[in-house]
Structure 1
């Protein structure tokens, strides 16, 4: 048995010394340093005292953090792998044969432990502490070997130049297994600061709610993050405790550095642009914030304790940047035998060409090596050429920080090859361009002219058509298409369901004006492509959804989001109840689902564009309803003009007649109009943004005054079902178990007596509780698409079944139900198709007019 001689130097594993200071803050509560230390000690005891190779499947969760710290404090060399990439995890486990595995999900704040053997089969060097994949790659057997000295030195250096103090709190915007994300953890723990632990995206409003609620003072960003921040109008957000933002993980364009640095100066926070690599335990240089706006093209100065020098490179004006410091790795590992090695290098040759300015700042001007980093992932250009060579294709690859460009000899399909490369390398499709050329460009020496290959990506070059759709395969272009196996591509799903002509990498369901009606159609089709969807899929960029696409395999059970299953089941029950096949009244449950979806889809963005979105969504309800009711008015004598204009609830008879058939649609429209007008008031908008859950609870409270007839008779009263709508709204804004428990208790306490029907009250309560506590429900795979159709068409089924089932009821009750469902789905499909068809007709007419003018007299 061996011991770890450097343990005393690992300052950030000595947790208990910070006492009751908050260490980890989540939506579910706070864990103090003393409590964190206890969890770490408990896990370390389970790992044992003999040093073993441990793999941690890491996520941004408390149990992952505990597993990380337990392995370090116990002296066990730890290999960090992504919990959300099972293929990468399996590859690393197969390559290194660890002695033990740690998994999130222990349930008590500690990870699950899988013992693969009681001791160890490995020869582990005493200095070895951590193994990380290189520079953003995942699943590769080539790992960076780091010591405890590396980790501590870099954590102290970062904490020093960022001036991290005990009162700082960093939000975890990057994964724990990524060296940049891990450095945020280490540098805060070393100073007794707090971690706002979350895996939410910065495009999710819930992230910013958590950020404010927990008093976060900083977050880390890669270049792509800043594109997302622009989309959510981060510059205008009210974040009183934000002290600084850090940027690394790839080069941020100088103009963007200037823009964000100036934004920070204006808003009262600093921008730290940083330069680093996994091989340097994260950071090698930083640009002081006061220099960022004027020297945005530089990487700044070395971190405390580190130094740079520039070694000449033959035939080049600029030399290679070389870094020396205590955070330089021990070396690489490519096989388990390499874990026995000690320090092999004392300096890091970065492969970057650099120069030092007169003011002492360093500037990187290019790369010496054949690697590029695209969207944070390192791409070996030689590997790209080898992949194509394995297909019998002669090729040359070049690239930038934004784009991979390959030239291939012969008449190959560039679009198809680009898809193959994107899939092999894990890159977004729009980040790969393949050009077919007669011969590869070469220099006079016969060597490949890589600058000429790179220039093929210039805008003036004719783009290669995508093989599936004919769309141009150019950087940033939307590339619709069909995936292998006949599955619709993710972009095509969005284009079909949201009736948009193109979908860019950074587009999300919400940014493309998705609403509760189209949400069903998109989510069901996405579930068929991606499997079980994450709860925040509607806020994830298309690029991220494409990255998560798994290999296709047959499934007998699908998991659909609970709100979809509830909608589908509720509308079937509504029709069956009216047909008297069975009695299960669920219409009021649909108001809870409507409130739930309103809060999720209609409260994003700023006030004015949000208002436009709300009224567009309202039009998608009103127009089909008015058109169908007008037809019903003409075909029958059951309805009045008041029905056509959705006014029967206001002017119609008090007694229940056929004129009350459309009460659900009328009340839903009234409620949506009212809340849309309410949220258009600036001070109401600000209140909802500052305290979204409390605001929703306030609406529930106001609505309950009407539910219990506590409102002055002379005052206007909200619709009698508004409190159920508000309960759904509150559920969508619930961020913690306490929030969900609060809504659940209100539901259970207030529903009894409302309907004077125990079955009906229990049914509605059960549906709301499912929304609160169960993210997804199993559905037979054969019924997945049918369930989606029913949920998407629920409003249309409700509208049309009043005319359909009386015709079929004399034949069969079952036929009456089935016919009503089929007709409603058909009307839904017609309403989705008609706007696009009308637009196409108008476009053809516009194109025809000039031709007619040219052929006229």
Structure 2
């Protein structure tokens, strides 16, 4: 394949090779694009540094470089590659698809050399693995053999192309004429699974962190409900997965019909050295399995180890040519016959190999191979006295001395390539040491388990999450997101505003990012202001319009219908999230309760002191039970619509069928309900409710517009939702101004994720939006108190809503603290 790459691609003709969101590229077309790109690179052999993304341009450039017999050095997109560039002086740098020619004629490249890969993740180390065409071909053939890859397979790119595991997926599938589903999306994104299903995906690869993410989105439930009908096999490598997780995935695979392959490898072996046959995963989850076809293991005894246990060595055609530390090494021939893995392993009686530990000080975290010695050296360069180890999936650093103002966690994160939240710093007076004087890494792990370091930035956002969501900070897992922790449409306003203040910006889809990822986000401060989510701004503006119109300060009707669309938007974002069905149901129940309970309490209070409501209002059922001729009959219509719509949709989405359909077709499912809403709007069923339908559950289609907008992931989908909005709103109220206001508000919701404004405006909008429910409930009783002073009445109504919201938040916090307060006993008296 790699000797005549273009011919190999072309021989598969019109079979699909690359599948993206917008394109299907056949093998013949791919061969043409690769050939054209190869012409741009030229015929003289070059060293090509390629900044990689999982997109078609990157893949074509990578294949073109191989086809032209150039040497490719893939690196992650957007990183600092200064050390590598300075060490190897590449002839060509490809960034964002643009070729930049730098040096000419300075490289002596060995004829067999094809690929250079980092052994240390993204640490920027100039130490690289030299791989030949023969290495790539042998490993791809071996992997394709034991996975039995065929032309009908469709593999999704879940790993970066700069990573040997990610490249091995591409190599092995292109070798067999299979297709690649090319995407940058994460497995937690609905759009990833939409694309995977649309292209009949049969496989994807994952590192341990991938399977942590899959747990969060209810992957087990999706598989068991038939949500991935074409899934044939799943592979795992890039670090050790716990035996319990291997066993559970093997059980899932056996129950739902796909194969689960646990694999073992290293960049120095091109990618793979061993695999565990799926039939053995359930009973032998701690094993790495057997050598891949063409490879062999041997175990060399190590002093102090039991018989049969020692260092694992691997031999096979995929073993690297050797390491490169600088430019001159690129001319060297292969000098490695056998790979010393550095792992301590044993061969069991059943013929399976098992790794029991590491001999060197490399660890794998977040799919990256981290050189702990290199991190320590970097810290020492910064005048930090520290040692490093790993524990509980984190990089642990014991720091004894540091310069004033030195952020040890940030320095360690930079040196390791890990996100800052993956680093835990333990402050110590002296570095813990063994009697021999060597560092005591075990003590460091124990100290980390006992302490919660004050310098750990994770505590900042953890405390913020705990405060907004009214939960204990100690119960928050850094791998959880806002929606995982029960965040909903009522708490997201406060969270988004405070997160914006903390970070200086709101990352895209922040509500579904793990806490550790939010903590690793670069803080920014912009003098020209901050951003506020459009849904927050609309919520604030709409409730002010509602109160002012009711008080007759102005006549700008339509705010409540905008709020209805925002409610649907938040329903899609915070209730229909990729979590298990039971968790979704719990989130829905919580959301309904936080609307219904305060509404019922306020109506009960109003019944005692006013004549504004009737018993049917107390049940939030005035529109069902009447009376429909009273002056206040329509005052709570918006709350009634929201509550009963949510109840109905909760029942639909709680059902296994509804849950399965929504997960499989999130946008299509929302559009189906939008179609139902439009049918009601146009009275397709002949109900003849007339203009009164404005203020009943038949206004559901506004909610459905927001719901569909939240699930629209492409411009064409947003255009379709906008078109339906335009068709539905024209003539709906019989008032062009009202219709225009509602259209503009909901169009902004569809197309504009955030609005930039002065920081003070963001805070004010957040306060008003967060208080919109209490403002809506109470304003009818507040503004009349001010008689003809309507402006004062409107302001007072908004202020009362804000104060009530603050009061409820304070009460929740007080109750939570009281419930978790320590119990005093006679044996442990209180201190005075």
TM-score (norm 2): 0.87
Change (3 A) 1:843 1:34: same
- Give the conservation status (yes or no) of the 8 Å contact 2:52–2:162: yes
Change (3 A) 1:115 1:480: closer
Q: Partner residue of 1:322?
A: 313
Q: Deviations over 1:511-546 (max 9, x none)?
A: 211111222222333344455545433233222333
The 5 A counterparts of 1:628-647 are: 628-630=602-604, 638-640=612-614, 642-647=616-621
Q: Deviations over 1:26-70 (max 9, x none)?
A: 344533333333443444444444444443332223333233333
Q: 1:133 aligns with which of 115, 118, 125?
A: 118
Q: Partner residue of 2:3?
A: 8
- Give the conservation status (yes or no) of the 8 Å contact 1:10–1:148: no
2:763 is the alignment partner of 1:785: yes
Q: 2:450 aligns with which of 460, 463, 470?
A: 463
Q: 2:279 aligns with which of 264, 282, 290?
A: 290
Change (3 A) 1:609 1:323: closer
Q: Partner residue of 2:645?
A: 671
Distance 2:232 2:638 in 1: 49
Alpha-carbon offset, residue 399 of structure 1? 3.8
Q: Deviations over 1:220-272 (max 9, x none)?
A: 12122233333434333223222211110011223433332233223222221
Q: 1:566 aligns with which of 510, 533, 538?
A: 538
- Give the conservation status (yes or no) of the 8 Å contact 1:51–1:120: no
User: 31-40 or 433-442: which moved more?
Assistant: 433-442
Distance 2:644 2:432 in 1: 66
Distance 1:447 1:622 in 2: 65
- Give the conservation status (yes or no) of the 8 Å contact 2:389–2:441: yes
Q: 1:58 aligns with which of 45, 52, 62?
A: 52
Q: Partner residue of 1:839?
A: 816
2:239 counterpart SS class: coil
- Give the conservation status (yes or no) of the 8 Å contact 2:783–2:790: no
Change (3 A) 1:72 1:821: farther
User: 401-410 or 500-509: which moved more?
Assistant: 401-410
Give the gaps of 5 or more residues in structure 2.
Answer: none
Q: Partner residue of 2:462?
A: 491
Change (3 A) 1:740 1:395: closer
Change (3 A) 1:387 1:139: closer
Q: 1:254 aligns with which of 243, 246, 251?
A: 243
Alpha-carbon offset, residue 649 of structure 1? 3.3
Q: Partner residue of 1:352?
A: 343
- Give the conservation status (yes or no) of the 8 Å contact 1:261–1:271: yes
1:192 counterpart SS class: coil
Distance 2:605 2:83 in 1: 62
Distance 1:23 1:156 in 2: 18
Distance 2:388 2:545 in 1: 59
- Give the conservation status (yes or no) of the 8 Å contact 1:797–1:825: yes
Alpha-carbon offset, residue 700 of structure 1? 1.8
Distance 1:646 1:196 in 2: 49
Q: 1:453 aligns with which of 441, 453, 465?
A: 441
Q: 1:270 aligns with which of 221, 240, 259?
A: 259
- Give the conservation status (yes or no) of the 8 Å contact 2:260–2:278: yes
Q: Deviations over 1:336-365 (max 9, x none)?
A: 555555545444322222333344433323
2:587 is the alignment partner of 1:613: yes
Q: Partner residue of 2:514?
A: 541
Q: Partner residue of 2:71?
A: 77
Change (3 A) 1:762 1:158: farther
Alpha-carbon offset, residue 492 of structure 1? 2.1
Distance 1:340 1:528 in 2: 53
The alignment yields a C-alpha RMSD, in angstroms, of 3.8
User: 587-596 or 800-809: which moved more?
Assistant: 800-809
Alpha-carbon offset, residue 587 of structure 1? 2.6
2:431 is the alignment partner of 1:442: no
User: 738-747 or 697-706: which moved more?
Assistant: 738-747
Distance 1:770 1:79 in 2: 44
1:516 counterpart SS class: coil
Alpha-carbon offset, residue 770 of structure 1? 3.6
Distance 1:410 1:534 in 2: 34
Q: Partner residue of 1:40?
A: 34
Q: Partner residue of 2:708?
A: 730
Alpha-carbon offset, residue 167 of structure 1? 0.4
Distance 2:530 2:12 in 1: 47
The 5 A counterparts of 1:223-234 are: 223-234=208-219
Give the gaps of 5 or more residues in structure 1.
Answer: 1-5, 105-110, 474-478, 482-488
2:705 counterpart SS class: helix
Q: Deviations over 1:596-655 (max 9, x none)?
A: 221222134444443332121111112333344555566665555544543443455656
- Give the conservation status (yes or no) of the 8 Å contact 2:395–2:422: no
1:721 counterpart SS class: helix
TM-score (norm 1): 0.84
